[in-house]
Structure 1
Amino acid sequence: MFDKILIANRGEIACRVIKTARRLGIGTVAVYSDADRDALHVRMADEAVHIGPPPAAQSYIVIDRILDAIRQTGAQAVHPGYGFLSERAEFAAALDAEGVAFIGPPVGAIEAMGDKITSKKLAAEAGVSTVPGFMGLIDGPDMAVRIAGEIGYPVMIKASAGGGGKGMRIAWNEGEVREGFQSSKNEAKASFGDDRIFIEKFVTQPRHIEIQVLGDKHGNCIYLGERECSIQRRNQKVIEEAPSPFLDAATRKAMGEQAVALAQAVDYCSAGTVEFIVDGDRNFYFLEMNTRLQVEHPVTELITGIDLVEQMIRVAAGQKLALSQDDVKLDGWAIESRLYAEDPYRGFLPSIGRLTRYRPPQEAPRRVRNDTGVFEGGEISMFYDPMIAKLCTWGPDRTAALEEMRSALDAFEVEGIGHNLPFLSAVMDHPRFVSGNITTAFIAEEYPDGFAGAVLDAPALRDLARVAAGMMRTRAERDVRISGRMAHGGAPEPAEWVVMIGGERFEIPAAEALALDWVPGMRLARGLVDGREIVVKVEARTTGFRLRWRGADLDAKVYTPRQAELAVLMPEKVAADTSKLLLCPMPGLVVTIAVEEGQEVQEGQALCTVEAMKMENVLRAERRATVTRIHAAPGQSLAVDEIIMEFE
């Protein structure tokens, strides 16, 4: 076994690897860029080595810098995490030349499976069902359009060396192929240093289901069940679960056996994932094999009891797998919610800044797990992907796992940046998700106009009104004690409170105001509603409270009956008119300006492209207008809401 390993990564996955290494008694080395000097993974590791400036292309994916860190520290092995160098065959080869073990598969397997074009050819040869597509290289947009026409729309444009949704576009017509082809190449080049593109048929209404495989250097290979990864946005996974609510035992077995056959065809060892799309009739098609640990690996660990990082380390050290296929048992259900620094109220655009408050829910063995790489007071940078935590819950069945997740999300406090916690909570209560009737189009179909917060029904609003009334009573009691009026009997409590929330008015008798575990200044209010626990995020307002619960973000105004009569006479504040401005929706770098001053633009026309967190975002005209002034230029860094251009 190794004495010291280096983690060639950052963030939550580096922290995750360090935890297992520490349990095994293995020393750890972290690497960090200027932006990560005070990062959590640096604090957790036994040693840390600086490797360069913030951009990944100048630090985390520079092989020579990682090799220098290895030489400085004497690390015997390297765990690459995911992303960055994890699927770069030249990195594994460089480690081998250095006499350092790569905690991952052999170079040949990375080369064969890491390239999506080659992997599809090998999958077909191994008898694995594959999606129709063009397996050769595409040298330009004209060729891309011709191929797309031959395959038939819609098509998926993908980076050959891609992953994590980077360099990936769906095109429904010729115009989208031309635009998507160039954006995919740009993203692929920036993220992976490889701009090769291929095109395949996009299967409509698909489920994304993947099989976890695990092999050793002695010819043993097993599969550890499947993960359902269909809740995606822009091909980026958001929620995963294991097992899938859709597969039956026969399909699971067939997919698992094909995944193992493919792995054995390339002498695969270590942990890996074979991804499939599955249609409504449970026909499945090979998408790609990821020759690394997956982001969503915790849900497999929770239902199998197998530490995949530990297995990867043991395999890299030459040990045989200690279990066979018959030893793999799936126990219960696990769900993972990815916490992203993305604002769902602004089209899920990236958000950066300081975490002024970061309080994950209390972890519990197996039941609640939070894999994270940040801490309160830390900064979310624009240089890396926006995922800051993975919240996982387990239950004996799907219903129990869902309820655990709802409660955990309710108790998760994040302030200082835009984040997707409200959206995650809303999905957990969505009837279609609860039923398990999901596809990769779920978000696009259920939230076609974006996310504006969950809409609560009248009983739920009344529950929150009771919470607000209970807090107002507590606040009033405190005010009385502070003023000294308690000695004179204090001010009488109103017979009822009037609560205005969600466009509804509720009259809450004093006896129905909830008794809560809350005092003024606390950010969470806990109580029981008809025997059910409720946890609500709270911010005090002059006339009440801001309440966030189950994906809803509401202002609750709490009055005495007389105050309520007067409140309806107050005028409403009118929001500023920004309809003639294009504002930068997130901090980022201007890549292109696609229009000129004086030019007339049409609805949907591309105006500019802004890059943030390794993703290119095309900003489009909302309606027909004329560009009167352009404030930004390519290469310029913009803050959120900074003016890019004006219209008339």
Structure 2
Amino acid sequence: MFEKILIANRGEIACRVIRTAQRMGIKTVAVYSDADAASLHVEMADEAVHIGPAASAESYLVIEKIIAACKETGAQAVHPGFGFLSENASFVKALDEADIVFIGPPTNAIGAMGDKIESKHLAKQSNVSTVPGHMDLIEDAEEAVKISSDIGYPVMIKASAGGGGKGMRVAYNDEEAREGYRSAQNEARSSFGDDRIFIEKFIEEPRHIEIQVIGDKHGNIIHLGERECSIQRRHQKVIEEAPSPFLDEATRAAMGAEAVALGHAVNYHSAGTVEFIVDKDKNFYFLEMNTRIQVEHPVTELITGIDIVEWMIRVAAGEKLGLKQDEVKLEGWAVESRVYAEDPLRNFLPSIGRLVRYEAPESDEEYNGRPVIRVDTGVEEGSEISMFYDPMIAKLCTYGPDRLSAIESMRTALDSYYIRGINHNMGFLSAVMSQDRFVEGRLTTNYIAEEFPDGFLGLEATDEQTKILVSVAAVLQTNLSEQTALAAHLNGISGVDIPVELTVFVDRKAHPVLIDLQDDGYLVSGDGFETLVRGDWLAHEPVFFGEVNGKETVIQIDRRGPALKLTLSGLTVEALVMESRLAAYNELMPEKLPPDMSKFLLSPMPGLLVSVAVEEGQSVKAGEELAVIEAMKMENILRAEKDLVVSKISASAGESLVVDQVIIEFE
């Protein structure tokens, strides 16, 4: 077994590999760029080596620097994580020449499966069902349009070296094919240094289901069941689960057998994932094989009890697999939510900044000896989300005996996850977890587009949620008054005369309530409802853990002057609690309106202004492209929201932008 390994990655996957290596008694080496000098993976590792500037092309993607770090520290092997050099055959070859072990598959498998075009040819030769398409190289946008038209719309335009949703576009007509080819090629060139593009038929109403395989260097390959990855946005997975709520045993066995056969065809060893598109009739088609560990591997680990990272290390060291196929048992259900630094209310644009407050959910509860809540992250309070890398904050996983219990645990975990300093997508994740369609398992890769056709616009409070939030707000404000009075030694220990009449303004609507003590809690009586609230809460705590009418309830709290900002199941409201005799005065206060910025195109994020598509004096129609901004390796096209005339161009292509910087001014 290795004595020391280097992790050629950053963030949560680097931390994930370090944890397993430490448990195995293996020393670890982290590498880091200028932007990651204070990162958690650097703190966790036994040693750390600086490898260059923040840009990954000058640090994490430089093969010579990784090898030099191995030689400097005496690392015998390299785990690549995912992304960066994880599927780079030249990297594996360079490691071999330096007598350093690659903790991953052989070079030939990476070459055959990592290239989507070649892998499609190989799959066909191996009698694996594939999606109809054009697998040869495409010269330009006009050829892409012709091929797309011949295949028949809709089509998927993909980067050959792509992954993680980058370099992918769906086109429904010639114009979208032309634009999609250009954008996919630009993203592919920027992210992978390889701008080759191919096109295939886009199957409507599909599910994205993948099979986890693992093999050793002795010819043994098994699969560890499937993962449902259909909840996607811009082809980037958002929520995954294992097993799939759609597959039956026969389909699972057939897909597993096909995935294993494909692995044998390339003499595969280490962990890998064979991805399939599955239609409504359970017909499945080979999509691609990822020759690395996947972001969503924790859900497979939870339902199998197998540490995939551990077996990657053991296989690389020459050990045989410790399991046969019939010994793999799928027990319980696991769900994973990807927590991203992005703003769902602004079309999920990346959010960059420092985590000024960070508290991840915790639980001592277990099922089958495995945690009910698992958080894989590479950040801590004070960490910075950089514009140079992927915006993932964490992978939040829950596990239980069945799908409904895993979903319910996920709802509670999302409510408990407190992050401030940047925007995040947990409100959106909570919204999905609460939808009947999701709970029933009626999923497709079009789920988000179908359920949120106008984007995520936030949530409207139900009557029940309003009653809960009004009641808890009244109790929290009462607790605050008591704690303030106690600290000032005023009015004795209680500080507040109970019972008391209060008025709770939720988003400026008044809710009169009476609050009294009852059964070790507070009884809140309002218009047509009574709510019993129990729970201890101190003024400095950002989360209320308690019971409302006997049901476990978790609510996040932010104090905004005299008001309380409360978040429940992704819904955020502002509550102002006042003594009823003062409430009438509050209703007379004017509402402060935000300034009108409709005449400006503002940068929604920090990033690089790639291009400006209009000129001063030009008339533009709603939906037309105005500018393209690149951030976190993704191109974001900004479009006109209505018909406008350009008055002034305030920024130039190639310029680095800050949030809300003016790009274009309109008449």
In which range does the TM-score fall when normalised by the shorter chain? Answer: over 0.9
Within-5 A mapping of 1:542-553: 542-553=561-572
Which amino acid in 1 is paired with 2:500? A
> Hey, what does 2:70 align to over in structure 1?
70
Cα distance per residue 1:544-588 (max 9 Å; x no partner)? 310011011110122222222222222221221011100101111
**Which residue of 649, 653, 663 corresponds with 1:634?**
653
> Hey, what does 1:556 align to over in structure 2?
575
1:454–1:550 CA contact under 8 A, matched in 2: no
Q: 2:169, 2:418 → 1: CA distance?
A: 33
**Taking structure 1 as reference, are residues 178 and 497 closer, same or farther at Cα in structure 2, changes over 3 Å only?**
same
Query: Bigger shift: 230-239 or 356-365?
Result: 356-365
> Hey, what does 2:558 align to over in structure 1?
539
**Taking structure 1 as reference, are residues 487 and 107 closer, same or farther at Cα in structure 2, changes over 3 Å only?**
closer
Which amino acid in 2 is paired with 1:523? P
Q: 1:635, 1:582 → 2: CA distance?
A: 17
2:478–2:496 CA contact under 8 A, matched in 1: no
Q: 1:424, 1:372 → 2: CA distance?
A: 17
Within-5 A mapping of 1:105-504: 105-364=105-364, 365-487=370-492, 492-493=497-498, 495-501=500-506
Q: CA deviation at 1:482?
A: 4.0
Q: 1:307, 1:459 → 2: CA distance?
A: 42
**Taking structure 1 as reference, are residues 19 and 529 closer, same or farther at Cα in structure 2, changes over 3 Å only?**
same
Structure 1 residue matching 2:303: 3-state secondary structure: helix
Structure 1 residue matching 2:398: 3-state secondary structure: strand
Within-5 A mapping of 1:533-612: 533-612=552-631
Q: 1:495, 1:161 → 2: CA distance?
A: 66
Q: 1:568, 1:494 → 2: CA distance?
A: 24
1:363–1:370 CA contact under 8 A, matched in 2: no
Structure 2 residue matching 1:440: 3-state secondary structure: coil
Q: 1:486, 1:535 → 2: CA distance?
A: 31
1:230–1:240 CA contact under 8 A, matched in 2: yes
> Hey, what does 1:99 align to over in structure 2?
99
- Give unpaired runs (5+ residues) of structure 2: 365-369, 517-522, 525-532
Q: TM-score, normalised by structure 1?
A: 0.98
2:360–2:418 CA contact under 8 A, matched in 1: yes
Q: 2:442, 2:507 → 1: CA distance?
A: 29
Q: 1:63, 1:481 → 2: CA distance?
A: 62
Structure 2 residue matching 1:466: 3-state secondary structure: helix
Structure 2 residue matching 1:161: 3-state secondary structure: strand
Q: TM-score, normalised by structure 2?
A: 0.95
Q: 1:279, 1:572 → 2: CA distance?
A: 52
**Taking structure 1 as reference, are residues 487 and 416 closer, same or farther at Cα in structure 2, changes over 3 Å only?**
closer
Q: CA deviation at 1:50?
A: 1.0
**Taking structure 1 as reference, are residues 567 and 310 closer, same or farther at Cα in structure 2, changes over 3 Å only?**
same
Cα distance per residue 1:370-389 (max 9 Å; x no partner)? 11001111111100011121
Structure 1 residue matching 2:322: 3-state secondary structure: coil
Structure 1 residue matching 2:92: 3-state secondary structure: helix
Within-5 A mapping of 1:611-626: 611-626=630-645
Which amino acid in 1 is paired with 2:185? K
CA-based RMSD of the aligned residues comes to: 1.4
> Hey, what does 1:524 align to over in structure 2?
543
Which amino acid in 2 is paired with 1:621? A
Which amino acid in 2 is paired with 1:602? K
Q: CA deviation at 1:486?
A: 1.4
Q: 1:361, 1:479 → 2: CA distance?
A: 28
Q: CA deviation at 1:434?
A: 1.0
Q: 1:22, 1:590 → 2: CA distance?
A: 43
Which amino acid in 2 is paired with 1:323? L
Q: CA deviation at 1:504?
A: 5.2
Q: CA deviation at 1:543?
A: 3.9
Q: 1:244, 1:573 → 2: CA distance?
A: 49
Q: CA deviation at 1:612?
A: 0.3
1:33 maps to 2:33: yes
- Give unpaired runs (5+ residues) of structure 1: none
1:159–1:196 CA contact under 8 A, matched in 2: yes
2:18–2:28 CA contact under 8 A, matched in 1: yes
Q: 1:490, 1:594 → 2: CA distance?
A: 63
Which amino acid in 1 is paired with 2:641? E
Q: Which runs of 4+ in 1 moved over 6 A?
A: none
1:472–1:544 CA contact under 8 A, matched in 2: no
Which amino acid in 1 is paired with 2:571? A
**Taking structure 1 as reference, are residues 477 and 135 closer, same or farther at Cα in structure 2, changes over 3 Å only?**
same
Structure 2 residue matching 1:32: 3-state secondary structure: strand
Structure 1 residue matching 2:166: 3-state secondary structure: coil
**Taking structure 1 as reference, are residues 542 and 50 closer, same or farther at Cα in structure 2, changes over 3 Å only?**
closer
> Hey, what does 2:515 align to over in structure 1?
510
Alignment size in residue pairs: 648
Give me the identity figure in percent: 61
**Taking structure 1 as reference, are residues 487 and 83 closer, same or farther at Cα in structure 2, changes over 3 Å only?**
closer
**Taking structure 1 as reference, are residues 260 and 470 closer, same or farther at Cα in structure 2, changes over 3 Å only?**
same
Q: CA deviation at 1:498?
A: 2.1
> Hey, what does 2:519 align to over in structure 1?
none
